[in-house]
Amino acid sequence: MRTTAVAVVAAALSVVLAAPAVAAPAVAAPAVAALPGPEAGTGNATDTGDHRATRQALQAAVAAGVPGVTATARDRRGTWSATAGVGDLRTGQKRSPHDRYRVGSITKTFVATVLLQLEAEGRLSLDDTVDTRLPGLVTGNGHDGTRITLRQLLNHTSGIFDYTADEDYRRAYSTKEGFFEHRYDTRAPEDLVRVALAHEPYFEPGAPEKWMYSNTNYVLAALVIEKATGRPYGEEVHRRIIEPLHLTATSVPGTRVSLPRPSSRAYSKLGPPATEPTYDVTRLNPSRAFSAGEMISDSKDLNRFYRALLTGRLLPAEQLDEMTTTVPVTTGMDYGLGLMKVTLSCGTNVWGHSGGISGSRTGTGTTKDGRHSLAFNFNGDWAGNSTAIMEAEFCGD
């Protein structure tokens, strides 16, 4: 029996997208007074196949209310990109296949990869306890770092409370009143951990049949990286992954509030989608997400990253096996170490992660052999059927 929040998480993760990523809709700018009707056209960068079903799914997302979508796929025919809708509701500028966007919890796969590289180098073990690596940090209200392993952090079986579920945190970043006041706040990772430890854990570490997505796990994982290497986790991500793979659109922004260009605007309702106006939430301080979801990338880079990861370019076979050893979450979805496996309706398994942060929802999926990959982004956080996009690409034409 799993905690009830798993149902919420599974609903999002099973479509390889959004909700459990970092925070609910947060930081925004002035409301957009009037919205244009949905733009359902597509524009292509490189078109090496028909991908008709995927095109239709992108158009349907815009028709459902997403301002704009950008997607890039790679398969045996080559690379294909398409967009639908707009990147700027004021000017009507289209989305671009080269848009850079906030990827939310996809950051977790990068963090897990670095931690597994450190294990391969003999600098730590996934069976180390959190307290061994971060003495005295995880304690209080039933939390006990001497009983939680690094592996349990990475596969969300630690039971540690998710700091983004804290009511004060939600008010600060998920309401109109809160985001106007806190959009540029800098949050230290230790502060995020303290928010979590003010609550009781969800369950005992490693309890049978228990699983709970917690962003706190990955804040702690990054702190372990920093303690083991003596460098910020973002530097390790850059040195070990971004540079070797030449991910030119990928970055760890820290406290930088702007998006690098090219990019589109990001939008949120900051309340019930049916009644609230739309706010421009592009500029925000991503330190509130830290290693649980602060990174920026584009669709091409995300496909390259997951292909390299799954084909053994970043991890030795032993560590890749550990990463792809999963625990069940719900029917059709399992979670490894910073990596999700989703079984689609046609029986195809895709590996990747979802990502959501204010104004941005991102999905990735790659087959285990790395031969077929897809990454896409919505520049709105309240609408759109991402399941249909994944199904269309991997099970459609």
Phi/psi at 218 (5° precision): -85, -20
Of 14, 81, 96, 105, the catalytic one is 105
User: Residue 364's closest CA among 288, 313, 303, 285?
Assistant: 303
Q: Please classify residue 266 by burial: count the beta carbons closer than 10 Å to its beta carbon, then call 0-12 exposed, 13-18 middle and 19+ buried.
A: buried
* Beta strand spans in the chain (E): 31-32, 42-44, 68-75, 78-85, 101-102, 139-140, 143-144, 267-268, 278-280, 296-297, 327-330, 333-335, 340-343, 349-352, 354-357, 360-366, 373-378
| Residues constituting the chain | 397
User: Residue 222's closest CA among 232, 230, 209?
Assistant: 232
- Would you say 126 and 154 are in contact if contact means Cβ atoms under 8 Å apart? yes
Strands 333-335 and 340-343: antiparallel
Type of residue numbered 218: Y
Please give the DSSP secondary-structure letter assigned to residue 162.
Answer: P
Sole residue written with tokens 């967009």: 83
Angle 208-152-8 from CA coordinates, rounded to 5°: 70
Q: Examine the residue annotation and report whether 105 is marked as an active-site residue of this protein.
A: yes
Question: If you compute the radius of gyration of the chain from its CA atoms, what whole number of angstroms results?
Answer: 20
Q: What is the spatial distance between Cα 273 and Cα 217, in angstroms, rounded to a whole number?
A: 30
Q: What is the spatial distance between Cα 138 and Cα 291, in angstroms, rounded to a whole number?
A: 17
Q: Which residues of 317-354 are buried (b: 16+ CB within 10 A; e: fewer)?
A: eebbebbbebeebbeebbbbbbbbbbebeeebebbbbb
Q: How many CB atoms lie within 10 A of CB 50?
A: 12
Catalytic residues: 105
